[in-house]
Amino acid sequence: MTSLVYDLHSHTTASDGVLTPDELIKRARHRGVNVLAVTDHDTTSGLSDAQKSATSHGITLVHGIELSVTWQKNHVHIVGLNINASSDRLKTRLAAVQEIRQERAQEMAQRLEKVGINNALAGAREFSLNNNITRTHFARYIVSIGKARTMSEVFKRYLVPGKPGYVSVDWIPMDEAVELIQSVGGCAVVAHPARYKMTNTKMKKLLAVFADVGGAGIEVINSGSTREVIENNISLANQFGLAASIGSDFHSPDNKFVDLGRFPPLPDNVTPIWEGWDEM
């Protein structure tokens, strides 16, 4: 029996993480994670540096991505694990999503200007080393100029639906995202199901469609998941025949509650997403 520590959801400076791929891999090793998936938002550009570092530090890197997806006007995140990032089809699709991100960022900055937050586009870009602009980069800028004290305060006041800096866009449709991930050899996993503020009924509808179009798994444990959430996720996984994934969703060492490998082990009443992966 091997007892590897898996963390299948994390971010680098290629999206809205603050550690470079190399720094992230070193932290994974320090934290006792054996198998780490790097799953940056809508980009695979951190994977080659992460692979070099993983090889030299004895970490098994799972090549991943976290796709921004729209399903029935809801925005959800679908993680792809074990993807072939060199696929031209994937690159073309991601380039289109990056265009949407750039246009959205311009619109967000214009709206923020109207509520007294100036230079937000340039400011967010300063925080985005890879020019892959997310709301997180706007949030870091807004905190840095003292317009809010914490990240969660910025989101609440400015960056969620109904607030001045929120701009809704159409991301990749869910069925297309699942098919795209599969077409590049990956398996599709619904990220952090408890974070969407969906009713259980709606989540079940989503999972029925997701499983039907070929979705493989669902994250049942993230950093900070409560026991109730974990139990509910496990029951959803089993109900829809989905495998279970676990991942911290690590972004930054500043958040003490979210860290690589910081979550309980997977209970044995679910099928791990890594069952059947090559022995690592």
Residue nearest to ligand AMP (CB): 134
Does residue 136 belong to the site contacting ligand AMP (CB under 6 A)? Answer: yes
Closer to ligand AMP by Cβ: residue 42 or 49: 42
Closer to ligand AMP by Cβ: residue 16 or 49: 16
Does residue 101 belong to the site contacting Mn ion (CB under 5 A)? Answer: no
C-alpha dist (Å) from residue 125 to 58, 94, 119, 163, 165: 33, 19, 10, 21, 16
Does residue 16 belong to the site contacting ligand AMP (CB under 6 A)? Answer: yes
Closer to Mn ion by Cβ: residue 49 or 66: 66
Does residue 13 belong to the site contacting ligand AMP (CB under 6 A)? Answer: no
Does residue 27 belong to the site contacting ligand AMP (CB under 6 A)? Answer: no
Closer to ligand AMP by Cβ: residue 196 or 277: 196
What residues numbered 228-247 form the site for Mn ion, per CB under 5 A?
none
Tell me the pairing of strands 60-71 and 35-38: parallel
Among 6, 8, 13, 16, the residue binding Mn ion under the rule CB under 5 A is: 16
Among 135, 140, 147, 192, the residue binding ligand AMP under the rule CB under 6 A is: 135
Choose the stretch contacting Mn ion; rule: CB under 5 A; options: 100-108, 113-121, 157-165, 249-257.
Answer: 249-257
Give the count of residues interacting with ligand AMP (CB under 6 A). Answer: 10
Among 6, 155, 158, 274, the residue binding ligand AMP under the rule CB under 6 A is: 155
Among residues 2, 12, 78, 7, the alpha carbon closest in space to that of 44 is found at 12
Closer to ligand AMP by Cβ: residue 151 or 234: 151
Among 27, 63, 77, 147, the residue binding Mn ion under the rule CB under 5 A is: 77
Mask: binding to Mn ion, 103-142, rule CB under 5 A, as x and -?
Answer: ----------------------------------------
State the helix-helix crossing angle for 88-114 and 135-144, rounded to 10 degrees.
Answer: 40
Choose the stretch contacting ligand AMP; rule: CB under 6 A; options: 50-58, 88-96, 147-155, 223-231.
Answer: 147-155
Dump the DSSP string for the chain. ---PPEE--B--TTTT-SS-HHHHHHHHHHTT-SEEEE--BT--TTHHHHHHHHHHHTPEEEEEEEEEEEETTEEEEEEEES--TT-HHHHHHHHHHHHHHHHHHHHHHHHHHHTT-TTHHHHHHHH-TTS---HHHHHHHHHHTTS-SSHHHHIIIIISTTSTT------EEHHHHHHHHHHTT-EEEE--GGGG---HHHHHHHHHHHHHTT--EEEEE-TT--HHHHHHHHHHHHHTT-EEEE---B--TT-TT--TT-SPPPPTTS-BTTTTSPP-
Closer to ligand AMP by Cβ: residue 29 or 75: 75
Among 9, 27, 41, 147, the residue binding ligand AMP under the rule CB under 6 A is: 41
Does residue 248 belong to the site contacting ligand AMP (CB under 6 A)? Answer: no
What residues numbered 67-86 form the site for ligand AMP, per CB under 6 A?
68
